A and B are shown apart, each in its own frame.
Chain A
């Protein structure tokens, strides 16, 4: 998810509440390994599932590999980065940059 997200970023994730929108960064369970959580960008939302992609397609493992993610496996929406200090900022804005 670079350059939007980097290893070691501290992120506030809110409950999903509503269906995710295209462009938003969401916290999802890896369909292949439910213990593994991932942050990915929503590329499309269909009935009951959404397609997620990384920001760097050449290096990302995403719905192109593991298929659409059921909405029940979308746990929340990335809202705000509160660390490191130099990178503090809203992430919902990042959703619209893409």
Chain B
């Protein structure tokens, strides 16, 4: 064990690449989570069995997408220096990803609301860490107006 620890490399290099486009925004996850929220609302308001079945299928897909976007933020955007500065981000991402699974399997509006709140907390850290400036392509002034 000692020998393994001694020999273990200290620097990690990547050899198989993904394509780090560098654009990361918790809003992507939020929009999918909002879809889940609205779909649950519509599900509860409907008496159409066919509509309800479709709603469940689509909601499960959107919950999966929300989870994917949270995973991408966590594994690709947040770096060790972010974790050092905002140690809560590990727990936030982990719990939010788990919450996506809950929303996927639930028709409880409260669970979808909880997911939105969790994503907002991740977005707070992303903003504090300079995410908007570092990762997004700024809109033209005219487009912002």
Residues of A within 8 A of B (CB): 1-2, 5-7, 9-11, 13, 27, 30, 32-33, 35-40, 54, 56, 59-62, 65, 82-83
Which of A37, A54, A82 makes the CB contact (< 8 A) with B16?
A: A54
Contacts of A38 in B (CB 8 A): 13-15, 17
State A72–B18 Cα separation when bound (angstroms).
Answer: 23
A61–B19 touching, CB < 8 Å: yes
* Contact count A vs B, C-beta below 8 Å: 52
Given contacts A10-B7, A11-B9, A83-B7, contact A32 B20 (CB under 8 A): yes
The size of the chain B interface, using a CB distance under 8 A, is: 15
B15–A39 touching, CB < 8 Å: yes
Which of B9, B15, B18, B79 makes the CB contact (< 8 A) with A10?
A: B9
Which of A7, A37, A83 makes the CB contact (< 8 A) with B11?
A: A37
Interface string of B1-28 (1 = CB under 8 A from A): 0000001110111111111101000000
